[in-house]
Structure 1
Amino acid sequence: MNKTERLHHMLRFINQKQRFTLPDLMQEFQISKRTALRDITSLEEMGAPIYAEYGRYGGYRLLQQMQLPPISFNTDELHALYFAMQALRSFSSLPFQTTFDSVHQKFMAALSDQQRENIHRMQQRISFKHTEQIRDSSHLELVLHAAVQQMVIQITYPHQSKSVNRNVEVPVSTRIIQPITLSASKGYWYCQAYDLEKTAYRVFRCDRIISAILTSIEPVAHLADEQNAHLQSLWKPSVHAISFQCRINETGIEQFKQNHYPSMRIEEQNGVRLLIGTYEPHELDFIVSYLAGYGTSIQTVEPDTLKDSLKQYYLNLVDRI
């Protein structure tokens, strides 16, 4: 970055840090000691109230927080922001109901004619292929609010053994949960949460949440402190999980990198590359459908129960042709 951009970034850096040293600036902005000293002088000339503290543990201190200038972006940054926004096209449901169209209109209105023309020319040279969102998630905003504020909510959710059909009434259950995080994957929003009644961690598909309301139930305090460990436990296999493996070729490995789950991995044993993982007993249909997508990229499937189910899956496909 040029000096003007660096000074703007440096103003924000020291405004947040309040106390800093020359090595801090040198490391943060990858500059020499001489350049860091010159930049401090330039910041003082711009009105930054910087006070030098001498001695063994000395450094620099900002006497008071500054009112920072408006954020400005160079041409490359504007292009990066614009094309990063294209990911929003994939989601008809977003937290706080922000839509791509409203963000896009405000962004484009703030650009100069030349900048809009540059983006238009780039649009003709770049295309994006998105995984479209499968179903709307109407309670996404409330779930995110509960996760951020560490609040407990009550939801109604279809039984796991039943698929959701909007035109057919299906059995549902009431769940008391404390949302932890939200994630988007393969066209769906997921909520990792703690089920207070089952005292267990669960993953809920947000589009399957039929209703959601805030409660006055006291949240579980330790969730925030041990969040990473809890999220990892969400994907740990149960004692009933079934291990599987199959040989996989290079084409299959490329496909695996594009689409796999935390319960799966690629290993090499005695020069043979294997797709190894686990699945729960009720996930047999899912794992069969997943492996079938590899076609001839996999072979020698174990255990036999999974291999037989995969063979039956192919036979059913043939019968339908």
Structure 2
Amino acid sequence: MKKSERMNQMLRFINQKQQFTLQDLMQEFQISKRTALRDIASLEELGAPIYVEYGRYGGYRLLQQMQLPPISFNTGELHALYFAMQALRSFSSLPFQVSFRTIHEKFMSALSDKQRQDIENIQHRVYFQHTEQIRDSAHLEFLLMAAVQNIVIQITYANQRRSSDQRSSSANTNIRTIQPIALYARKGYWYCQAYDLHKQAYRVFRCDRIISAETTEIEPLTHVKELYSQDAQSLWKPSEQAIPFKCLIDEAGMELFQQEHFPSMQIIEQMGHMYLVGSYEPHELDFIVRYLAGYGNSIKITEPVILKKALRQYYLDLLDHV
């Protein structure tokens, strides 16, 4: 990192901390003690109001917050920002109702002619293939802020995808009281990870199926956040009714597994062979059959028998439609 760039970042760092030590600077910017001392002297020459506190717990203190210069980005950072923005192309629904076009126009207008030319050259050299968003989600900002602020909310949830004539009907919906944890996007859909207070279990909700959402006066559960800080895979444990399965899997199948799998699944090695193992709930039989069918001949189900029969029937039904 160039010294001028490091000085800029260091100004922002100490302006935020107000009180710091040489060790803080050495660790944050990966520099030596001698370099840190020289940088402090340079900051003082730039007018930073820094004074020394002596003693065992001494260090440096900023007398007052400074007016910082505008943020500037180097070429590599600009290119990284442009690549990151491409992820927004696929989503018509985004938290805070931000559109890719608006961000892209502002980004490009802020560049110099040379920087804009570099970005345009990148556009002709790199192709971004996206999974387009399939359905809009109207409550993303509300769900995100509920997760951030640790608020319990009540939602009206459609169990299945609604057709146009079902939108006004409550026959296929139910009321759920949940504590949102996080949002994520996958294969064209937004999902909300949450704790269902009625079922007392962690659940994932399709955001486009949330018809309405409103706050409640219910106190949030403190253990939800604590559990989420642990391994996410441990949150969604199988129920007592869950059915374990095991499939022999080849190398091509393991590559498919890396592209898409679920917390209840893993790859293990036994006696020199690789297996896809996991579990599914009884009502998820059709789902797990369709998922395993995507592996083609890269897997062979070894157990349970009911899953083998269901997958065989799935293939037979496909042949009937040929």
TM-score, with length taken from structure 1 = 0.93
Distance 1:167 1:264 in 2: 36
- Whether the 8 Å contact between 2:202 and 2:236 is mirrored in structure 1 is no
Q: Which residue of 2 aligns with 1:67?
A: 67
Q: Which amino acid aligns with 1:248?
A: I
Q: C-alpha deviations, 1:68-106, integer Å up to 9, x for none?
A: 221110111111101110000111110111111111111
- With over 3 angstroms needed to count, the CA separation of the structure-2 counterparts of 1:225 and 1:235, relative to structure 1, is closer
Whether 1:11 and 2:11 are equivalent positions in the alignment is yes
Distance 2:156 2:57 in 1: 58
Kindly report which structure 2 residues correspond to 1:1-321, keeping only aligned pairs within 5 A, or say none: 1-159=1-159, 163-169=160-166, 170-228=171-229, 234-321=235-322
1:226 CA drift (Å): 4.4
1:252 CA drift (Å): 0.9
- Whether the 8 Å contact between 1:238 and 1:280 is mirrored in structure 2 is yes
Distance 1:197 1:173 in 2: 12
Distance 1:74 1:229 in 2: 36
Question: Which SS does the other structure have where 1:127 is aligned?
Answer: coil
- Whether the 8 Å contact between 2:233 and 2:263 is mirrored in structure 1 is no
Q: Which amino acid aligns with 2:35?
A: T
Distance 1:226 1:315 in 2: 43
Instruction: Indicate the larger mover: 177-186 or 118-127.
Output: 177-186
- Whether the 8 Å contact between 2:228 and 2:235 is mirrored in structure 1 is no
Percent identical pairs in the alignment equals 68
Q: Which amino acid aligns with 2:77?
A: E
1:168 CA drift (Å): 4.3
- Whether the 8 Å contact between 1:192 and 1:231 is mirrored in structure 2 is no
Q: Which amino acid aligns with 1:192?
A: Q
- With over 3 angstroms needed to count, the CA separation of the structure-2 counterparts of 1:199 and 1:296, relative to structure 1, is closer
1:283 CA drift (Å): 0.7
1:256 CA drift (Å): 0.8
- With over 3 angstroms needed to count, the CA separation of the structure-2 counterparts of 1:216 and 1:279, relative to structure 1, is same
- With over 3 angstroms needed to count, the CA separation of the structure-2 counterparts of 1:27 and 1:150, relative to structure 1, is closer
Distance 2:145 2:51 in 1: 41
Q: Which amino acid aligns with 2:271?
A: N
- Whether the 8 Å contact between 2:241 and 2:281 is mirrored in structure 1 is yes
Q: Which amino acid aligns with 2:127?
A: S
Q: Which amino acid aligns with 2:257?
A: F
Instruction: Indicate the larger mover: 164-173 or 103-112.
Output: 164-173
Question: Which SS does the other structure have where 1:210 is aligned?
Answer: strand
TM-score, with length taken from structure 2 = 0.92
1:50 CA drift (Å): 1.3
State how many pairs are aligned: 318
Question: Which SS does the other structure have where 2:64 is aligned?
Answer: coil
> RMSD over aligned Cα, in angstroms?
1.9
Question: Which SS does the other structure have where 2:302 is aligned?
Answer: strand
Name stretches of at least 5 consecutive residues in structure 2 with no aligned partner. none
- With over 3 angstroms needed to count, the CA separation of the structure-2 counterparts of 1:264 and 1:198, relative to structure 1, is closer
1:303 CA drift (Å): 1.0
Distance 1:225 1:16 in 2: 27
- Whether the 8 Å contact between 1:201 and 1:230 is mirrored in structure 2 is no
Name stretches of at least 5 consecutive residues in structure 1 with no aligned partner. none
1:20 CA drift (Å): 2.0
Question: Which SS does the other structure have where 1:118 is aligned?
Answer: helix
- With over 3 angstroms needed to count, the CA separation of the structure-2 counterparts of 1:299 and 1:201, relative to structure 1, is closer
- With over 3 angstroms needed to count, the CA separation of the structure-2 counterparts of 1:225 and 1:270, relative to structure 1, is closer
- With over 3 angstroms needed to count, the CA separation of the structure-2 counterparts of 1:207 and 1:230, relative to structure 1, is farther
Distance 1:134 1:301 in 2: 35
